[in-house]
Amino acid sequence: MKRYSLIVVLHIIGIAFLSVGVYLLVDAGLWFSALMAFLILLAIAVHLYRLQMMQVRMMRHLAESLRYDDMMLSFRSPYKNRSMEDMVDELSEAMRNFRTRVLERNEMEAWQKLIRVLTHEIMNAVTPITSLSDTLLGLTEAQVSKEEIRNGLQTISSTGKGLLSFVESYRKFTRIPTPEPSLFYVKSFIERMVELARHQYPDVRVTFHTDIAPSDLILYADENLVSQVVINLLKNAIQAIESDKNTDKEGHINIRAYCNEAEAILIEISNNGPAIPNDIAEHIFIPFFTTKEGGSGIGLSISRQIMRLSGGNLSLLPGKETTFILKFN
């Protein structure tokens, strides 16, 4: 970074001296020398401009990566320039260290939250089973009827099934298969996902809008795993629209796919249903966190896990509409 700053300062000093030199040469009538000095001045100015534009491009890359909650930063200098390469290496190393610290802190917080959730759910299931079992065991044959036994056993059975369902959700969360990437066209893939979502919710008034640019955009990823992510987001979007109390409003789901300046492929899925409140948005990717009645709370957690295993990321974009972004690096 110091090397780059020194080069910029030298360029500015050179431009200042040459500007004075051109003025003095013109004033002395030495037109040819003035022209040569002006061309050198122009070359230095152009080189300085290119250096600055390279830095601007890297800052845009950094800003975009942070915007989409992506710490897997890798900068490449488009020119064989030692000072720029040194600055790129310093910036990349700093971001890698920052990412490591953030992930370590987030991982610890996630495990603590997960342990609290597991403890809470298991205790909620085991406590009534134990209490009811003790009550039934404490009754004599004369005190208990067949109906009471049947009701008690039904309660134990339903609570046990709920606990098994919870454990199965946890097992799914921890058993995501290793991605097997391949090339596939995004346009036809999105069309299949839309048709599948329509088939699952035929009675919901929803209009889908797709914008794939270019139309022959190709993605290298595990199509089966990515389909789980997209279907889950479409399902959530439809359910959000369905839960909207404004029954006269027609639901809209917009799906946009494109390639950004850093050559990453992004898929944006947004809907005009009720926006996710900020206090809830902070927790939606935490395992087993849910605001839905009967929801497992693992859909978005698994989706983000799949995206990270695929070398990308899933994030929620703040705004009036709910917009999720799948980013593939």
Q: What pLDDT shows up at residue 266?
A: 95
Give the chain's mean pLDDT.
75
In angstroms, rounded to a whole number, what is the distance separating the alpha carbons of residues 289 and 296? Answer: 8
Higher pLDDT, 218 or 146: 218
What string of DSSP letters covers 226-288?
HHHHHHHHHHHHHHHHHT-S-TTSPEEEEEEEEE-TTS-EEEEEEESSPPPPHHHHTTTTSTT
Across residues 219-244, what is the average pLDDT? 89
Q: Are residues 300 and 201 in the same domain?
A: yes
How many domains is the chain partitioned into structurally? 3
Residue given tokens 């490591």 in the structure block: 100
Do 116 and 92 share a structural domain? no
- Residue 216: pLDDT band with limits 50, 70, 90: very high
pLDDT tens-digit profile of 298-328? Answer: 788 888 888 988 888 998 887 778 899 999 9
Asked whether residue 159 carries a pLDDT value surpassing 90, the answer given is: no
pLDDT over threshold 60, residue 240: yes
Together in a domain, 107 and 78: no
Last residue of a domain, one of 147, 174, 201: 174
In which domain, by residue range, is 138 found? Answer: 103-174
Claim to verify: residue 203 and residue 264 sit in the same structural domain: yes
In this structure, of 31-40, 118-127, 223-232, 246-255, the range with the lowest mean pLDDT score is 118-127
Same domain for 214 and 152 = no
The pLDDT of residue 247 is 60
- CA end-to-end span of the chain: 26
Q: Please tell me the distance from the alpha carbon of residue 209 to that of residue 190, in angstroms, as a whole number.
A: 11
Helix axes 223-242, 299-309, angle to 10 degrees: 150
For 243-284, write each residue's pLDDT tens digit.
876 666 788 999 999 998 888 999 999 998 888 888 788 778
Q: What would the two tokens of residue 85 be?
A: 């390469």
Asked whether residue 123 falls in the same domain as residue 261, the answer is: no
Per-residue pLDDT, 42: 79
167 and 299 assigned to the same domain = no
Please say which residue of 124, 156, 174 terminates a domain: 174
pLDDT band at 166 (very low <50, low <70, confident <90, very high): low
Is there a single domain that holds both residue 203 and residue 303?
yes
User: Residue 233: its pLDDT value, please?
Assistant: 93
CATH number of the domain enclosing 270? 3.30.565.10
Does residue 72 register a pLDDT over 50? no
For 168, the 3-state DSSP assignment is helix
Domain match, 122 and 90 both: no
Query: What value does the mean pLDDT take over residues 38-61?
Result: 73
CATH of the domain at 131: 1.10.287
Same domain (yes/no): 265, 231: yes
Q: From 101, 120, 155, give the residue that closes a domain.
A: 101
Considering the domain architecture, whether residues 236 and 308 belong to the same structural domain is answered as: yes
175 pLDDT tier (thresholds 50, 70, 90)? low
* Count of beta carbons in the 10 Å neighbourhood of residue 90: 14
- Burial-class residue 279 by CB neighbours within 10 Å (0-12, 13-18, 19+): exposed
In this structure, the answer to whether residues 97 and 112 fall within a common structural domain is no
Helix boundaries (H) for the chain: 2-28, 31-67, 82-138, 146-174, 186-200, 223-242, 278-281, 299-309
Per-residue confidence (pLDDT) for residue 123, from 0 to 100: 64
pLDDT tens for each residue of 31-47: 777 778 778 777 877 77
Task: Give the pLDDT score at 309.
Answer: 86
Q: What distance in Å separates the CA atoms of residue 266 and residue 324, rounded to the nearest whole number? A: 10
